[in-house]
Amino acid sequence: MSQVETGKTLLEAKALSRHFIVKGDGGFFSKRKSIAAVEGADVALRAGKILAVVGESGSGKSVLARLLSRIVSPTSGELVLNGETVDLKTQRDLAYASQVQLVLQDPFAAMNPVRRVGHSLERPLSIHGVPEDEISARAHEILESVSLTPPQQFLDRYPHELSGGQLQRINIARALAVKPKVLLADEPISMLDVSVRLGILNLLRSLCDDKNLAIMYITHDIASARYIADEVVVMYAGQIVERSNDTSLINSPQHPYTQLLIASVPDPTNLGAEVVKAPSGGAAAFNLNGCRFSPRCSQALAMCATNEPPMVEVAPGQHAKCWLHASDAQRASVTISNKSKNEMESKNV
C-alpha cells in the first residue's frame, strides 16, 4: 500500500455546523429552539499528524467527530476527503467507511457483549471485501499490530473477560482493520484505568507514525493532548475558540477560556498557585448573540456580549476567537455598526 506523504491534508471540514431543534424550557407549549451543537468548524486532518480537540462535555467535540465520520449529517458546511468534496446529500457509503474510521469512548459498550471478539473483528474484514480464507490471518495480524499476543487467545474471548485497556486496543484494531487513512478517536482513554492510558496513547502515536494516518484525538484532558498531539484546537459551546499548529497554545494560551482551562488542571508542581475563579457556568449560560464565553469571562469587553468575535492570529501559527486580540480597526468597525444599529432601532420606536 503506497504511503501518503506526511503532512498532506486528508480530510478537511469547512464551516461545518450541526443544529438540533429542541423544545424550549417553558413547558409543553414553549417554542422550539435551534441549538447549535457545532458551529462553523474548520479542521484539517493531515497524514502522520495528530490533531487534538480539547473541550468539556457540551463543547461539541463528540458531535464534530461524528460529523467527520458522517454518522451524523451536518446542517451546513463542507467536507473534503482526499481533495474531493464529499456529496453530503447521499448516505455514507462503504467507500467512505473504508477511509474514515471512529473509535468510541467506552470500550465495553462498543463491543457486542454476546458475541466473541473474533466475530466483532472479522466483520469489518468481511464487509470490506477481504477473501474468506484470508480473514483469520488478517485478524491475527491486526491484533499483533496493537500488541495483543497471542492473538487467538483474544479472538476466542467474550468482551467481559478482558480488561478495559485490552478491549480498547481491540476497538482500535477493529477500526484499523479496514485500513483507513483517517482515524477519529473520541475520548479513547477517559474510561480506562490511569496506568494503562499511556499505553494506548503511545499506541496511537506509533500507529500514526508507522502508517502515516491522520488522527483526530478528542479529549477533555489537556495534558494528554499535549502528550501526543502535533496540533491543538480548543472548543467551547460548539465553536473553535483557539487553535495552534503545534502545542504552543498550552504554554501560552491567549483565549480567556483556554487560560481558565489550563489554570484549572491540577498541577502538583505548582501548589499554592492563585486559584482562578470564574462565575459558575452551566449549560444555560451560553450567550448566543455575541461571544459565547462572555458571561464567564473576567476580561470581557462591552462588545463581547453583542458581537461574535473574529478568529484572530495571536502568534505565528496560533489563532484565538477573541475581541481582546482583535485589531483596533476590527473593533472600530463593529462599534460603528453597533451604533448605527442602535440608531435605527431607536428611530423605529
Q: Which of residues 149-188 bind another protein (CB under 8 A)?
A: 158, 160, 163-166, 171, 174-175, 177-178
State which residue, 96 or 310, has the beta carbon closest to another protein.
96
Stretch that binds another protein, among 74-82, 95-103, 318-326, 328-336 (CB under 8 A): 95-103
Residue 275 is given by DSSP the state P
Subset of residues 209 to 268 that bind another protein, contact rule: CB under 8 A? 220-224, 226-227, 247, 250-251, 260-268
**Which of 196, 301, 306, 331 is close enough to bind another protein by CB under 8 A?**
196
Cα-Cα-Cα-Cα dihedral of 103, 109, 111, 114, to 10°?
-170
The C-alpha cell 429552539 sits at 33
Is residue 27 close enough to count as binding another protein by CB under 8 A? no
**Which of 84, 277, 316, 344 is close enough to bind another protein by CB under 8 A?**
277
State which residue, 200 or 240, has the beta carbon closest to another protein.
200
State which residue, 9 or 248, has the beta carbon closest to another protein.
248
Distance CA 53, CA 104 (A): 15
Q: Is 113 left (phi over 0), alpha (psi -120 to 50) or beta?
A: alpha
Residue type, position 130, single letter: V
Sheet of strand 239-244, all strands in order from the earlier edge strand to the far edge: 100-103, 182-186, 214-219, 50-54, 231-236, 239-244, 318-321, 311-315
Residue pair 319/313 in contact (Cβ under 8 Å)? The answer is yes
CA atoms within 13 A on the CB side of 303: 20
Is residue 128 close enough to count as binding another protein by CB under 8 A? yes
Is residue 124 close enough to count as binding another protein by CB under 8 A? yes
> 63 in helix, strand or coil?
helix
State which residue, 64 or 312, has the beta carbon closest to another protein.
64
Closest CA to 69 of 41, 39, 93, 38: 93
Smallest gap, in angstroms, from Cβ of residue 41 to another protein?
20
Smallest gap, in angstroms, from Cβ of residue 114 to another protein?
5
Residue pair 115/125 in contact (Cβ under 8 Å)? The answer is no
State which residue, 22 or 198, has the beta carbon closest to another protein.
198
Is residue 118 close enough to count as binding another protein by CB under 8 A? no
Subset of residues 298 to 337 that bind another protein, contact rule: CB under 8 A? none
Smallest gap, in angstroms, from Cβ of residue 236 to another protein?
11
**Which of 15, 22, 127, 302 is close enough to bind another protein by CB under 8 A?**
127
State which residue, 22 or 109, has the beta carbon closest to another protein.
109
> 17 in helix, strand or coil?
strand
**Which of 281, 301, 310, 331 is close enough to bind another protein by CB under 8 A?**
281
Residue 190's φ and ψ, nearest 5 degrees, are -65, -25
Distance CA 182, CA 81 (A): 10
State which residue, 42 or 221, has the beta carbon closest to another protein.
221
> 57 in helix, strand or coil?
coil
**Which of 13, 37, 64, 97 is close enough to bind another protein by CB under 8 A?**
97
**Which of 94, 137, 332, 336 is close enough to bind another protein by CB under 8 A?**
94
Smallest gap, in angstroms, from Cβ of residue 254 to another protein?
17
Strand locations in 133-186 (E): 182-186
